[in-house]
Amino acid sequence: MEEIADQRAATVGTATGLARNVVALFAGLSLWTAIHFGSLALLPLYLHDQGYDPRGIGFALGAMGVAQLAMRPFGGWIVDAFGRRGPLVLSLGLLAVACALLAIPSCVTVLANRVLTGIAFSVGTTAFYALSIEVAPPERRSEVQGYVALGLTLGVALGPPILVGLYRGAAADGTPADRLPPIALGAAAVAVLGGICFRATSSPVAPRGRAHPYSLRASFRREGLLPALLNFCAQVPNTGFSAFLPLWALGRGVPNPGLLFVASQAGSVASRLFAGRLADRHGRAAVLGPALGGVGLVLAGLTAASGWPAFLALSLVYGALFGVAFVILPTLAAEATPPEGRGAALNTFGLGSDLAQLLGPWGLGLAGSAWGLAGALVAASLVPLGGTVALLAARAGGRKRARRE
């Protein structure tokens, strides 16, 4: 069955269908991530303006992680049973509703926004990863992942600076809270457009339907555990970069911290274009390990930066290194299983992101309360270094088993 699916993917890869899928996935991902990360950058500023301290901000943002975890027992089964495209489009619809709720700004609607965003992220990323991997020929999977991931680069580069700039008064009068409703409604419209883009895709893998009844085991695969751990180690520092670095940068001479996202995504362009090819040629782990270690070192270095030139330069390097993980990790998880269990493997892989979204804001919020924002960023920088150690240990164990066999 895996060979048949790979043959169908190869057929798509040699036809115009691959180009259509890549363009649709790129466009949809651009719009999705612009809203997702734009909201993640904007909401801490809004909560800060309402008097919340770092601990309170962390706990509010952590509601997204709770929702993601709550959906994991169903996500893999949904994507394998009902296909990739339908759940992906539905996820963008949920994101649109989440954004529209912020038109009535309050703590309750912020929490509701985080919960719906978490559900959309949990199911949507599982479906997206499966679809973006399956449309590519097997020998070009990481390469195609890199091209599609350029949508993430564009979305993160545009969403945060635009939303933060509008919120802080670049294009409106009145208090910041007065500006939130029109921004929220505009974000909801963009999310709907993202769903329309994903609707234009096609998948080489058919839904399993009634042949795949629900069970808890249908949503998880043990082959996805190591990629899940590495995903966690990559996402925790990104939580620090997205949610806590903007507050730190404001006090260190950066007038619009949204520009840091532009720099990080400019840096990620090279990794999107070339890291996939390197991974296809030299192996996933050989490229991923050094990148994870570099993410930790650069994030720690940002705590010593002062003035926008230093912040922009380090953010550019951070983006280049973090982009490698997004290109390689989904393929690492997907290739460990046959197509009929790929949704479950990628759902397991997504647990790492869920735990990062939950424990990252909460843990870093506690660290920020105890040691300040710089302490929170240093704590976040230690996590990817641990991921590098885990990856090296797994490679060493695999070599020992291969020698024994």
CB neighbour burial string for 242-278, b if at least 16 within 10 angstroms, e if fewer? bbbbbbbbbebebebbbbbbbbbbbbbbebbbebbeb
Least confident of 159-163, 256-260, 401-405: 401-405
The token duo for 365 is 């919020």
What is d(CA 291, CA 267) in angstroms, rounded to the nearest whole number? Answer: 13
Residues 6+ apart with CB under 8 A from 69: 351, 354, 355, 358
Least Cα distance to 47 among 118, 106, 95, 97 occurs for 106
> What is the helix, strand, coil percentage profile of the chain, to 5?
85, 0, 15
Q: What topology does CATH give the domain 2-206+217-404?
A: Growth Hormone; Chain: A; (1.20.1250)
Q: How many CA atoms lie within 13 A of 218 on its CB side?
A: 17
The single residue listed with the structure tokens 């933060």 is 164
What pLDDT, in 10s, does the model give residues 189-218? 999 999 999 999 988 887 887 777 878 777
Which of 159, 364, 102 minimizes the C-alpha distance to 245?
Answer: 364
Which residues are within 8 A (CB) of 3 and not within 5 positions of it... i.e. 6 or more apart?
none
| Amino acid (1-letter code) at residue 333 | A
pTM over 0.85: no
H helices of 204-305, in order, are 225-239, 245-250, 258-282, 284-302
Average pLDDT over residues 119-142: 87
What integer is the mean pLDDT of 266-283?
A: 80
User: pLDDT tens for residues 179-189?
Assistant: 789 999 999 99
Query: Taking a C-beta distance cutoff of 8 angstroms, is the pair 352, 227 a contact?
Result: yes
HSE value, Cβ hemisphere, 13 Å, CA-based, for 308: 12
Domain ranges of the chain: 2-206+217-404
pLDDT digit string, tens, across residues 159-172: 988 998 888 875 55
